[in-house]
A and B are shown apart, each in its own frame.
With several copies, the nearest count.
Chain A
Amino acid sequence: MSELGPLSSRDLIIQATYLLASIFFILGLRSLTRPTQARLGMQQAAMGMLFAVIGTLLNAHIVTYQWIIIGLAVGAIIGYPMAMKVPMTAMPQFIAFSHAFGAIAATLVGVVEYRHAFTIDMSGTMTGMSSGIAAAVGFEVLFGALTVTGSFMAFGKLQELIRGQPITFPGQNAFNITLIAVAFLSLGVLIYDPGATWAFYTVLALGFFLGISMVLPIGGGDMPVVISLLNSYAGLAASATGFAIGNNVLIIAGALEGAGGFILSLIMSKAMNRSFANIVFGAFGSAPAASTKEGGPVKEPKTITAEDAATQLAYAGSVVIIPGYGMAVAQAQHTCRELHELIEKKGGKVSYAIHPVAGRMPGHLNVILSEAGIDYGALLTDVDDANRVLLTADVVVIVGANDIVNPDAEDDKSSPLYGMPIFRPWTAKVSFVIKRGKGTGFSGVENPLFTKDNTLMIYGDGKSVIGNLVKEIKALDEGH
């Protein structure tokens, strides 16, 4: 909370530490964009955090370190097992949860700031607050509070503590817009008269409320976009804190995060073919409704036994595996790797086509497969590249994927998926689809791929079906 004026040498050290922290954050983010340097980047960002904390601990306003040290220790004790235990499939809800914690901190800091400025201190005076600072603190608690409840809601939906379906009531959008308007009005009052305590607490309360009412109507599957957007909001809250207490590290880290979260939600929205506005306005609205296409008589999908499928896989020259959300649900990645290695031992080439929005967060399947030790050289993460490889593939194995291989995205203008870039497994010789039953994907629409002539279904849980395939291929060998 340094004010303007000549710098003491202590201030100089603090400022140098902060500058270093900022540089580490930026370098870290930059390294994070390259697969071979990503881990280094993460460490640089962590170093940035360390320096930021050190710089703050040197702050002359700090009189007692007791609670700080206990707090840090408790945080570490809570955080460590959390991070070590969580399964990779639960990544979205984990991020939402951890995120809510950071937002709580930002919000509380805002409250402390405001209270401090408008409490009569020992010397009997009240410091008060300029309009500029009031604006910053107001933004801080608004975005902070919104992120707290929003993140918890997202967590609840993903963890299925709350109903995943969109929860709506008539006039919901109008209601939310009114809430937002009132929140910004109160913020305006606060800026005009920083001493208007009621305005401050109204902003805070509405922030909490908005987080709930804006996330409730959004379907569980849309949560990753919401989380990413909340990430962006949390960044803005951090930047606002920085404006309020005059701390550049906060401003910079917050801006980086704000930009990052925003771009990730854009990327997701694009890959999911949702409109930009849909995202910017807090992913208002609900998941696309099921298409009501009425067709002729519905063809029944053809099936294939694990034994026959295994034979074809054993003699295939080129196999492409398309994993989807179901692979994560079934935790089938390790078995999948076994299959992969078996096929390669028999001389086939295996690659994975990873759709940008396969799973429930961007790049989710990359993490799941990496967890099983599959190296990322085998992953085709570009849709066009993957489609080129599919043209010459002998066998495609689709494991728990649905929307990302739905041909309606290209053919049916009325489909909610229309326009989303998809994989084209039907251009390969034959595709096996592994899923539990007739369940639809995230979008809730039927998939005409399943009734194509060269598509064969293998019903069952992803992990056990792949396990069977592995067994059958091994049996083939022994049979010889």
Chain B
Amino acid sequence: MLQIFQLYVFILAGFVGFVVIQRVPPLLHTPLMSATNAISGISLVGAIVAAGGQYGQVSTILGFIAVVCAATNVVAGFLITDRMLAMFKPQKAANAKEHAEMKGAAK
């Protein structure tokens, strides 16, 4: 029963991802790729449990390595995405849009 609910969650979330990402403009494809890469660091959640749990020494060591790797992925992934997005300058774009709208609104 629990697994059926998980399946629902998985399918619904996949659908959300599908619908949302289909609309990403080409302008943002690279940042999006790097953002999803950062999100893949979510295995950090599992890694933390493995490193902190009472699963024996080997597990703690493996867990520790997992935490390091996942944290690297998360930190690097989000930072690079932020660096990239910070470079996108929207100033004139916004102006251009305003212009277009003004033209549309003119009698």
| In the complex, chain A residues 236-281 whose Cβ is within 8 Å of any chain B Cβ | 237-239, 241-243, 245-261, 263-264, 267
Q: With A74-B71, A377-B94, A424-B107 given, can you name 12 additional A-B contacts, CB distance below 8 Å?
A: A6-B1, A26-B16, A32-B32, A71-B64, A83-B75, A83-B79, A105-B41, A109-B63, A109-B66, A112-B50, A251-B6, A391-B107
A42 and B79 CA atoms in complex are apart in Å by: 10
| In the complex, chain A residues 47-84 whose Cβ is within 8 Å of any chain B Cβ | 48-49, 52-53, 55-57, 59, 61-65, 67-68, 70-72, 74-76, 78-80, 82-84
Asked if A75 and B88 sit within 8 Å, CB to CB, the answer is no
Please list 8 pairs of residues, one from A and one from B, whose beta carbons are closer than 8 Å in the complex, sorted by A's number: A38-B28, A49-B74, A63-B52, A67-B67, A70-B64, A113-B50, A250-B43, A257-B40
Chain A minimum-CB-distance residue to B53: A61
A111 and B82 CA atoms in complex are apart in Å by: 33
> Which residues on the B side are within 8 Å of A28 (C-beta)?
35
A160 within 8 A of B: no
Choose among A19, A46, A375, A384 the residue that contacts B91 (Cβ–Cβ < 8 A): A375
Question: Given A75-B75, A248-B9, is A109 in contact with B39 using a C-beta cutoff of 8 Å?
Answer: no
Asked if B26 and A381 sit within 8 Å, CB to CB, the answer is yes
Question: Given A75-B74, A112-B59, A251-B6, is A256 in contact with B33 using a C-beta cutoff of 8 Å?
Answer: no
A259 and B14 CA atoms in complex are apart in Å by: 6
| In the complex, chain A residues 137-156 whose Cβ is within 8 Å of any chain B Cβ | 144
Asked if B74 and A42 sit within 8 Å, CB to CB, the answer is no
> Which residues on the A side are within 8 Å of B37 (C-beta)?
95, 98-99, 102, 231
> Which residues on the B side are within 8 Å of A6 (C-beta)?
1
A175 within 8 A of B: no
For chain B, what secondary structure do more than half of its interface residues adopt (helix, strand, loop), or is it mixed? helix
Question: Given A67-B67, A75-B72, is A227 in contact with B33 using a C-beta cutoff of 8 Å?
Answer: yes
Question: Given A46-B78, A67-B63, is A56 in contact with B10 using a C-beta cutoff of 8 Å?
Answer: no
Interface size of A in residues (CB-CB distance below 8 Å) = 132
Question: Given A29-B20, A35-B27, A252-B9, is A377 in contact with B96 using a C-beta cutoff of 8 Å?
Answer: yes
Question: Given A62-B52, A251-B13, is A354 in contact with B26 using a C-beta cutoff of 8 Å?
Answer: yes
A42 and B39 CA atoms in complex are apart in Å by: 10
Choose among B17, B68, B83 the residue that contacts A255 (Cβ–Cβ < 8 A): B17
Chain B minimum-CB-distance residue to A378: B92
Asked if B87 and A19 sit within 8 Å, CB to CB, the answer is no
Chain B minimum-CB-distance residue to A364: B30
Taking the closest CB of chain A, its distance from the CB of B23, in whole angstroms, is: 5
Choose among A88, A241, A367 the residue that contacts B43 (Cβ–Cβ < 8 A): A241
Choose among B7, B40, B51 the residue that contacts A102 (Cβ–Cβ < 8 A): B40
Chain B minimum-CB-distance residue to A55: B45
> Which residues on the A side are within 8 Å of B86 (C-beta)?
39
Question: Given A35-B25, A377-B93, is A259 in contact with B17 using a C-beta cutoff of 8 Å?
Answer: yes
A135 and B43 CA atoms in complex are apart in Å by: 18
Asked if B65 and A104 sit within 8 Å, CB to CB, the answer is yes
> Which residues on the B side are within 8 Å of A159 (C-beta)?
none
Taking the closest CB of chain B, its distance from the CB of A99, in whole angstroms, is: 5
A71 and B71 CA atoms in complex are apart in Å by: 8
Question: Given A76-B71, A356-B29, is A264 in contact with B35 using a C-beta cutoff of 8 Å?
Answer: no
Asked if A377 and B91 sit within 8 Å, CB to CB, the answer is yes
Choose among A33, A71, A373 the residue that contacts B25 (Cβ–Cβ < 8 A): A33
Asked if B1 and A253 sit within 8 Å, CB to CB, the answer is no
> Which residues on the B side are within 8 Å of A239 (C-beta)?
10
